[in-house]
Amino acid sequence: MKFGAWIHERDFSLDEQISAAHQSGLRSIRSYSLDYSRRAAPILKQYDMSLLAGMHIEAEELADNWRSQVRLDELAEIHNLGADLEGICVGNELRQGGDAFDAKRFTARLAFGLANVLDTYRRWMAEHGFSTPLTYAMEGIVFDQYGTFHEWVFPLIDACDIVSINLYPMDVPAWSTFGAFDESRKFLTDRRVRNDRLNLYEMQLRQVLTQLERMDKPMIFSETGFPSAVGYQIENETHVIPQTDNAVYESAMREFMARTRTVNVDFNNRIKALYFYEWRDNLYHPKIWNIEQSPIHVAFGLCDRFGFPKFDIQKLLLEDNL
């Protein structure tokens, strides 16, 4: 299993951050857009790191007319960047109905449209001699209440060479409002709460892999992780500053990774790569103040906002980083 992360660019250059990530044992970077890939590719080549490239998709336009979202010029440019491509992720967490927790939906029209876009890209790549794996990054709304993929998602899974899942050991209260900081504190410091959430996470991961095993599909963890915050303070009326406990964060992260590794071994290493969300704390994340009201997004970094690792990342990843 290869390890990577998403690295935001606020306050520090990609060059210095990718260098630090490489020193810490990361071997890949996730991108959500072509512009980001353009900036990252030359740096990644210096460090012999791979790129999970991203292509943007507009959900409503996709549902109305999937052909409007086919961008063969971008697909060609991604291949011409010269980076070692872990895959190309065509879209991330697409939703109809808006971004509110009780309104967002992954519909059959989105699944149908994405499957067609992926098939179009695969035909173009075959004609031009490329075999880069194509994928789409799915979130929890692709599952029913039993953890099974909705039936209309299966044609999209068929269209993916490798299935990408954004999965976190967190439930709904752990994401929204400032109450999420209390949920984070309990996860990090309360043994029973941590075990309960990690048990649920492991069960969900095993359900996903069981279904993918039946379809003979490998998996990428396109996003995962959890916040290190045990509290917060507000600066200048707009900045949410996380208060962290790095020791308990490291302990929880080691348990999380131990469970993930065990499950992966049980499924014959079906998980090919894992991308942490994210490399560094992000005080400017758009979800802090938007309709999702998720200020906990400031605290997901493996490093603090100044770029200092919260624990020995290299030691955590050393066991099976390829």
Q: What is the pLDDT of residues 59-94, one digit of tens each?
A: 999 999 999 999 999 999 999 999 999 999 999 999
Quick one: pLDDT at residue 289? 78
Q: For residue 1, what pLDDT is reported?
A: 92
- Four-point Cα dihedral 186, 190, 195, 201, nearest 10: 10
Give dist(CA 248, CA 230) in Å, integer. Answer: 10
The answer to whether 93 and 166 have CB atoms below 8 angstroms apart is: yes
Which residue blocks in the chain are alpha helix, DSSP H?
Answer: 14-23, 34-46, 59-64, 72-80, 108-127, 154-159, 179-189, 191-214, 246-266, 313-317
Confidence (pLDDT) at 103: 63
CA 11, CA 211: separation in Å to the nearest integer?
41
Task: Determine contact, residues 277/5, Cβ cutoff 8 Å.
Answer: yes
- Three-state SS for 239? strand
Residues 6+ apart with CB under 8 A from 189: 230, 245, 248
Q: Which amino acid is it at 27?
A: R
The yes-or-no verdict on residue 322 having pLDDT over 60 is no
Task: Give the whole-angstrom CA distance, residue 197 versus residue 54.
Answer: 30
| Residue 186, φ and ψ in degrees, nearest 5 | -65, -40
pLDDT tens digit sequence for 146-197:
889 999 999 999 999 999 999 999 987 778 889 999 999 999 999 999 999 9
Mean pLDDT of 8-19: 96
SS3 string of 283-310? CCCHHHCCCCCCHHHHHCCCECCCCCEC
pTM over 0.85, yes/no: yes
What is the three-class DSSP state of 166? Answer: strand
Q: Above 70 in pLDDT, residue 320?
A: no
CA distance 200 to 279: 25
Query: Long-range CB contacts (< 8 A, 24+ apart) of 228-236?
Result: 228/184, 228/188, 228/299, 228/300, 228/301, 228/310, 229/181, 229/184, 229/185, 229/296, 229/298, 229/299, 230/181, 230/184, 230/185, 230/188, 230/189, 231/181, 231/185, 232/178, 232/181, 232/295, 232/298
Distance between CA atoms of 221 and 215, rounded to whole angstroms?
17
pLDDT digits (tens, 9 = 90+) for 212-251: 999 999 999 999 999 999 999 998 878 899 999 999 999 9
How many CB atoms are closer than 10 A to CB 11?
A: 13
Cα 227 to Cα 208: distance, rounded to the nearest angstrom: 23
Of all residues in the chain, the percent with pLDDT exceeding 90 is 85
CB of 184 within 8 A of CB of 296?
A: yes
pLDDT class of 318 with cuts at 50, 70, 90 = confident
The residues pairing with 137 across neighbouring beta strands, listed in sequence order, are: 92, 164
Q: Give the chain's domains with CATH numbers.
A: 2-173+198-225+249-278 (3.20.20.80)
Tell me the C-alpha distance between 238 and 310, whole Å: 24
Residue 292 has pLDDT above 80, yes or no: no
Going by pLDDT thresholds of 50, 70 and 90, the confidence category of residue 312 is very high
